[in-house]
Amino acid sequence: MFDNLDRIREALQFINASDRNQWVSMGMAIKSELGDTGFDAWDTWSQQADSYKANDARDVWKNIKIEGGVTIGTLFHEAKTNGWRDDGYYQKPTPEELAERKRIATEQAEKEEAEIIRERANTAAKAKAIWDVATEAKANHPYLFRKQVSPVATLREIDAGKAAVILGYAPKSSGEPLTGRLLAVPVKQNDKLSTLELIDESGRKAALAGRGSKAGGYWANEHLPYSDGNNLTLLIGEGVVTVLSAREATGYLGIAALSSSNLQTVAKIMLERYPAAALVILADLVKSTGESDPHALETAQSVDGRLAVPDFGTYRNPEATDFNDMAGTFGLEAVASAITYAIDPPSRLPGINETRDGDSNGWPEPQPMTLKIEAEPYPIDALPGSIRAAVEEVAGFVKAPLPLVASSALGAISLAGQAHIDAKRADRLHGPSGLFLLTIADSGERKSTCDGFFACVIHKYQKEQAEAMKPAIKEYQAGIAAWEAEREGLLSAIKETGKKGKPTNDLKTELTQLQQEKPEPPRVPRLLYSDVTPEALTYGLAKQWPSAGIMSSEAGMLPYPPHSQCIRKKSTDIRLCLLA
């Protein structure tokens, strides 16, 4: 017997936490049911995703409205779609309970919204108070001096003690108070001061307290112009010193988003404000790999901008990750070259036959590294007669390429036979006849149509079997209800007997015997999947039906379970046949 929280935790294990839209939706479902008490369950599940960040999770949760239109039923439905079997007990709220819950949720949402507005106004007021008494930033500020950048008019500084008096608390970074001379970085939202980022002499950073005061906010290295951005090149980076180094190297106006997760939001704001401007996204490198931060790449793609990436050569110091580090290592000219290359990449590399260093003979013509291999006709004659006839008939009807049609046919056949036939490929190499099939085709070439012709029989079989199994399912449901009632009776008897101080050995023996007699759910054949998590697929193969296939056009949604026989990438038609 589960309580609601246990039931929610179990159901979450069948849902993919890596899909951001689904991740947010599940947060909305849990918060609608449990309020803020549900955060721990959602946060624990969220940590399964590689992209998980604790701060992002807390921020998203705070911004979720309790009345968001997504209820706990959405979560349970999604889990069941992915293979979860609901063996728990859940008492549906009465209409009166739902109405009361809705009233409370509305009151809480209104109260929370009012509190956030009050917090933001208070934060903005304190930010202005600090900015008004702060003095212009000096070139000898330890942080600026160490980073080898010069201050600009949009930076000021203030003593940490004086800032704490204005704020009523000491600003902290990772639990440690900021000390010494603090750089005050004004954060703007819609051209209005919303908060400050404070940076102490050692480089520790803290924003003023206040929910949402920094979201979508940015810092500019100079006052922004009033124009449509014509003839304007705008650099958008993550940190203040990154933007300052890029500005000193190129002279272009720069914007700091102040966090990688805020980069895309700020870039879109700038695109809307300056539609004619050239936007250049300044990427940071991932410290562990040296690759560009995915946030920067996604941002450049989303605003049709250029991506400038710092280059440290083969022997990069793992601590070197941004354009400020590049300026310190190679100088501002190297930074300028990297950004210029991003803005105006050369249309071609130096001609291979052009002379170099006085070599009048030039370079020889390059030899091809691979031979050109002409495509061969599809071996339709290798198919058995009946299969060939079916393939040719479908190809003639839908006018799709013959190899595409044959791929659909072979996929359906391999799925139908893999549970019954093993293929012996060598003396000691044999296994299921499920196939790994890959078809590359443009959108509109009727991949799904061809799959439908050959998979329709499998769909029909599944439907017929589900209908035929309905009496067995009802019998199981009745049996499990009786079993649960008997189990609850024994548990209550053990509890009452124990309270009276009497021995419970006989009752425990009965409970053990009853546990072994728990009815097993009937197995209903399910052979075809299109969108399923690894957990749900594993559960389905183990508990429902031991043979399955995935037919999908979204490679990013495909799981990678044991015994997989085929997988395919996005923008191609994909089929996975497996045998557990």
- Tell whether the model's pLDDT for residue 479 goes beyond 80: yes
Lowest average pLDDT, out of 158-172, 227-241, 266-280, 496-510, goes to 496-510
Under 8 Å between Cβ of 235 and 300: no
Tell me the average pLDDT across 513-537: 81
How many helices (H) and strands (E) are present in the chain, helices listed first?
Answer: 19, 18
End-to-end CA distance of the chain: 30
Asked whether the predicted pLDDT for residue 572 surpasses 60, the reply is no
Query: What does the angle CA 150 – CA 151 – CA 152 come to, to the nearest 5 degrees?
Result: 120
pLDDT category at 566 given cuts 50, 70, 90 is very low
Tens of pLDDT, residues 446-472: 777 888 888 888 888 888 888 898 898
- Name the nearest CA neighbour of 29 among 82, 70, 66: 70
CA 480, CA 484: separation in Å to the nearest integer? 6
Complete DSSP assignment for 306-364:
EEE-----SS--TT--SHHHHHHHH-HHHHHHHHHHHHS--SSPSPTTS--TT-TT-PP
Give yes or no for residue 168 having a pLDDT over 60: yes
- Residue of 554 and 234 predicted with greater confidence: 234
Maximum pairwise Cα distance, the chain:
106
Q: For domain 233-343, which CATH number applies: 3.40.190, 3.40.1360, 2.60.40, 3.30.1390?
A: 3.40.1360
Query: What's the confidence (pLDDT) of residue 372?
Result: 63
Phi–psi pair at 128, nearest 5 degrees: -65, -40
Reported as a single tens digit per residue, the pLDDT across 384-413 is: 988 888 888 888 888 888 888 888 888 888
Find out whether 411 and 454 touch, Cβ atoms under 8 Å.
yes
Q: What does the pLDDT read at residue 381?
A: 86
Considering only 102-106, 179-183, 320-324, which range has the smallest mean pLDDT? 102-106
Question: What is the SS3 assignment for 155?
Answer: coil
Contacts by residues 355-364 (CB-CB < 8 Å, ≥ 24 positions apart): none
71-85, 140-154, 350-364, 524-538 — which one is most confidently predicted on average?
140-154
Q: What band does 354 get if pLDDT is binned at 50, 70 and 90?
A: very low
Report DSSP state, residue 522. P
Q: What is the pLDDT of residues 113-157, one digit of tens each?
A: 888 889 889 999 999 999 999 999 999 999 999 999 999 999 999
The mean-pLDDT minimum among 84-98, 191-205, 295-309 falls in 84-98
Q: To the nearest whole number, what is the mean pLDDT of the chain?
A: 82
Q: What are the C-alpha distances in Å from 287 to residues 154, 243, 284, 319, 322? A: 29, 19, 9, 6, 10
The first and second tokens of residue 555, run together, are 């490679």
Q: Is a pLDDT exceeding 80 seen at residue 344?
A: no
Using an 8 Å Cβ cutoff, are 234 and 339 in contact? no
Q: How confident is the model at residue 541 (pLDDT cuts 50, 70, 90)?
A: confident
Span of 181-195, 344-358, 360-374 with lowest mean pLDDT: 344-358
Place 357 in a pLDDT band, splitting at 50, 70 and 90: very low
Measured distance CA(519)–CA(324) in Å, rounded = 66
- This prediction's pTM: 0.50
